[in-house]
Amino acid sequence: MRRLGGIVTASLLVAAAVVAVAPVAQATARASIPAATPRAYQVVTVHIRDNAYTPDAATIAPGATVRWINDGRNPHTVTSSKAGQFDSGVLKPGKSFTRSFPKAGTYAYYCTLHGTPTSGQRGALGVGDGPAPDAVQPTGSGDAAAPTYQASGKTINVPADSATIQGAVNKAKPGDLVLVAPGVYKEAVKVTTDGIVIRGVNRNTTILDGEFKRDNGIFVVGANGVAVENMTARNYTTNGFFWNAVLGYRGSYLTAYRNGDYGIYAYDSQYGQFDHSYASGSPDSGFYIGQCNPCHAVITDVISEYNQLGYSGTNSSTDLSIVNSVWSHNRSGIVPNSLDTEELPPQGHNTIAGNVVSDNGNPDAVRSTGNAEFDAAFGAGIAIVGGVGDVITKNRVERNPKIGIALAPNPGIQTNFWPATGNQVTDNTVQGSGMADLAVVLGSSADGNCFSGNTFTTSAPADIETLWPCSGTGAGDPANGALDIGKFLDVSGNAKGKPYQKSPVPGKQPNMPRATRAKAQPAGAPTPVDLAAIKVPASSS
- Tens-place pLDDT, residues 12-55: 433 433 333 333 233 333 344 444 344 445 889 999 998 899 99
- Residue 461: asked if its preceding bond is cis (omega within 30°), the reply is yes
Q: Are strands 396-398 and 356-358 parallel, antiparallel or unpaired?
A: parallel
pLDDT confidence of residue 486: 83
Read off the pLDDT of each residue in 143-172 and give the average, rounded to a whole number. 98
Calpha distance 6→127 (Å, rounded)? 36
Per-domain residue ranges of the chain: 1-15+293-501, 33-127, 144-267
Cβ-based neighbours of 533, under 8 Å, separated by 6 or more? none
Q: Average the pLDDT over 176-189 and give the result.
A: 98
The answer on pLDDT for 356 being more than 60 is yes
**pLDDT surpassing 50 at residue 10:** no
What residues form DSSP beta bridges with 47? 54, 69
Exposed e or buried b per residue across 318-356, where buried means at least 16 C-beta atoms within 10 angstroms of its C-beta: bbbbbbbbbbbbbbbbbbbbbbbbbbbbbbbbbbbbbbb
Among 105, 138, 106, CA closest to 121: 138
Pair 57, 123: CB distance under 8 Å:
yes
Q: How confident is the model at residue 121 (pLDDT cuts 50, 70, 90)?
A: very high
Mean pLDDT for 458-469 is: 96
Amino acid 36: pLDDT: 39
pLDDT class for 417, splitting at 50, 70, 90? Answer: confident
State the chain's mean pLDDT as an integer. 90
**What is the distance between the alpha carbons of residues 81 and 89, in angstroms, rounded to a whole number?**
14
pLDDT grade, residue 373 (50/70/90)?
Answer: low
CATH of 33-127, one of 2.40.50.180, 2.60.40.10, 3.40.50.300, 2.60.40.420: 2.60.40.420
Contact 330, 363 (CB under 8 A): no
Say if strands 43-49 and 52-54 run parallel, antiparallel, or are unpaired.
Answer: antiparallel
At residue 398, the 3 state secondary structure works out as strand
Mean pLDDT comparison of 127-141, 181-195, 337-351, highest-scoring range: 181-195
Higher pLDDT, 25 or 308: 308
Dihedral angle at the C-alpha atoms of 504, 510, 516, 521, nearest 10 degrees? -100
Q: Where are the alpha helices (DSSP H) in 6-73?
A: 9-15
pTM score, two decimals?
A: 0.92
Alpha-carbon distance of 97 to 87, in angstroms, equals 9
Q: Who wins on pLDDT, 536 or 416? A: 536
Residue-level pLDDT at 492: 84
Picking from 249, 120, 229, 224, the residue whose alpha carbon sits closest to that of residue 174 is 224
* 254-293 tens-digit pLDDT: 999 999 999 999 999 999 999 999 999 999 999 999 999 9
Supply the Cα-derived Rg of the chain in whole angstroms: 23
Mean pLDDT score, 137-154 = 96
Looking at residue 170, the DSSP 8-state letter turns out to be H
User: How far apart, in whole angstroms, are the C-alpha atoms of residue 97 and residue 443?
Assistant: 44
| Cβ within 8 Å of residue 519, ≥6 positions away | 151
Minimum mean pLDDT range among 40-44, 226-230, 251-255, 461-465: 40-44
Average pLDDT on 428-439 reads 97
Whole-number pLDDT of residue 485: 82
d(CA 206, CA 184): 6
Q: Residue 157 above 80 pLDDT? A: yes
Residue 363 has a pLDDT of: 93
Positions of E strands within 237-388 = 239-244, 247-257, 262-267, 270-275, 278-280, 285-290, 297-300, 303-305, 309-314, 317-323, 326-328, 332-337, 348-353, 356-358, 380-385
Query: Tell me, what's the pLDDT at 129?
Result: 86
Residue 326 has pLDDT above 60, yes or no: yes
Name the DSSP class of 492.
T
CA proximity to 239, closest of 217, 254, 221, 222: 217
| pLDDT on residue 413 | 60
Determine the average pLDDT of the residues in 155-168.
98
Q: Is the dihedral of CA 236, 237, 241, 243 positive or negative?
A: negative
Amino acid at 207: I
CA distance 386 to 393: 18
Given this model, what pLDDT does residue 443 score?
A: 56
Asked if the model's pLDDT at residue 6 lies above 50, the reply is no
3-state helix, strand, coil in the chain (%, to 5): 10, 40, 55
pLDDT classification of 447: cutoffs 50, 70, 90: confident
310, 304 Cβ separation under 8 angstroms: yes
Query: What string of H, E and C letters represents the secondary structure of 500-513?
Result: HHHCCCCCCCCCCC
pLDDT of residue 412: 62
Residue 491, phi then psi, degrees to nearest 5: -110, 5
Rounded to whole angstroms, the Cα distance separating 468 from 318 reads 24
Q: What is the pLDDT of residues 382-394, one digit of tens each?
A: 999 999 999 999 9
